[in-house]
Structure 1
Amino acid sequence: MRYLVRDRVLAFHEEAWIETEHREKIYKVNRKLLRLRTTFTIVDTHGHQVASIVKKAFTLHHTILVKRDGWPEARISKRAFTLFGDRFKVTLNDGRRLRITGNLWDREFDIQHEGTTLAHVSRRWFTMRDAYAVDVLDPEDETLMIILAVCVDHTLQDRKREQLANR
């Protein structure tokens, strides 16, 4: 199934709506800015929290923790410096390890487990700058794949802002 993520930046807050391919809103991502640690919450249309996402500050690797129902579900990490392109590693609480690879700067990447693609993320089909599609190929982990795509996208946005600020 295909999902659409649309970002909106407001004054001291950032939010994104996640919709089905039929434009039905299912989740909202709230991001709190101007904090030492970047935090997100993903809520459903009734306001119930689906997941919380915390970007750890002061780590050697970019590390994000995903919690659902108050329990850790995933740890996403990316090395600050790599020789052979950008890659994210995801460790799930059930022991599975996922890889996120592709052309991350253009937001064209796959989420894979042992060589099998679970989801594909793409901005290719959108003329809007702040929208991208998440094609989930494994219906068992739909929500988790959407959460991982949002985490990677926000990490890449933060890195671009840091690089522009350092110029």
Structure 2
Amino acid sequence: MRFLVRDRLLGFGDDYWIEDEHGTKVFLVDGKAMRLRDTFELKDTRGRVLIDIHQKMIAVRDTMVIERDGGPLATVRRKRLSLLRNHYRVFLADGSELDVSGKILDREFAVEYDGELLAVISRRRLHVRETYELDVVRDDADAALLIAVTVCVIHLAEKEREKEHGEDAGDGD
């Protein structure tokens, strides 16, 4: 299953559609502005909330929590002690883990489970500049969860970049 995400609209408080490979709207990412923590909802085309995504309020490192039907589904955070800055771990509620690595800010990364590829996020094959493709390579994979994981790691990587640039901008004053 391939999904297209218009990256240009991606921003906190923005809503954006995720389309299938035929251009049909499949999911809506609803960014909730004016909240104490960063919050998103992944909705179907009828407006039903499939997955809630929010920032964990009390955490040593920036952490996003993914919930389905009011219960925990996964927790996402940057991998500690990683040589690669763009390496995230997804801790699933069942005790298993997903590994996300690659060039997150360039939208060139992969999601794996136990060394097996689940999804590839890439701009390489697309000619539209502010669009990336999320290719779910396993038919039995939870597409909504993988989309939520993608939203989380991109959001966390962009927040980390903003913190770095904010600190750099203040050094010269």
The TM tier, using the shorter chain, reads: 0.7 to 0.9
1:106 Cα offset (Å):
1.5
1:155 to 1:93, Cα distance in 2 relative to 1, 3 A: same
1:6 to 1:47, Cα distance in 2 relative to 1, 3 A: same
- CA contact 2:62–2:77 (8 Å) conserved in 1: yes
1:145 aligns with 2:146: yes
Q: Which residue of 2 aligns with 1:160?
A: 161
1:153 Cα offset (Å):
1.5
Structure 1: 5+ residue runs without aligned partners?
none
Q: Deviations over 1:62-120 (max 9, x none)?
A: 21110011111111111577544321111111221110011223121110011110000
Instruction: Select the structure with the greater relative contact order (CA < 8 A; seq sep ≥ 6).
Output: 2
The DSSP-based 3-state class of the residue aligned with 1:37 is: coil
> 1:9-48 to 2 correspondence within 5 Å?
13-48=13-48
The DSSP-based 3-state class of the residue aligned with 1:59 is: coil
Q: Which residue of 2 aligns with 1:130?
A: 130
1:75 aligns with 2:70: no
- CA contact 1:31–1:39 (8 Å) conserved in 2: yes
1:127 to 1:60, Cα distance in 2 relative to 1, 3 A: farther
Q: Which residue of 1 aligns with 2:117?
A: 117
Structure 2: 5+ residue runs without aligned partners?
none
Q: Distance in 2 between matches of 1:62 and 1:17?
A: 25
Aligned length in residues? 166
- CA contact 1:64–1:75 (8 Å) conserved in 2: yes
TM-score (norm 1): 0.88
- CA contact 2:51–2:144 (8 Å) conserved in 1: no
* Root mean square deviation, CA, Å: 2.2
Q: Which residue of 2 aligns with 1:62?
A: 62
TM-score (norm 2): 0.85
- CA contact 1:3–1:133 (8 Å) conserved in 2: yes
Q: Which runs of 4+ in 1 moved over 6 A?
A: none
- CA contact 1:62–1:79 (8 Å) conserved in 2: no
- CA contact 1:61–1:77 (8 Å) conserved in 2: yes
Please identify, of 102-111 and 21-30, the stretch whose mean Cα deviation from structure 2 is larger.
Answer: 102-111
Please identify, of 53-62 and 67-76, the stretch whose mean Cα deviation from structure 2 is larger.
Answer: 53-62
Task: Provide the identity percentage.
Answer: 36
1:85 to 1:155, Cα distance in 2 relative to 1, 3 A: closer
Larger Rg: 2
- CA contact 2:105–2:158 (8 Å) conserved in 1: no
- CA contact 1:60–1:79 (8 Å) conserved in 2: no
Which structure has the highest strand share of the two? 1
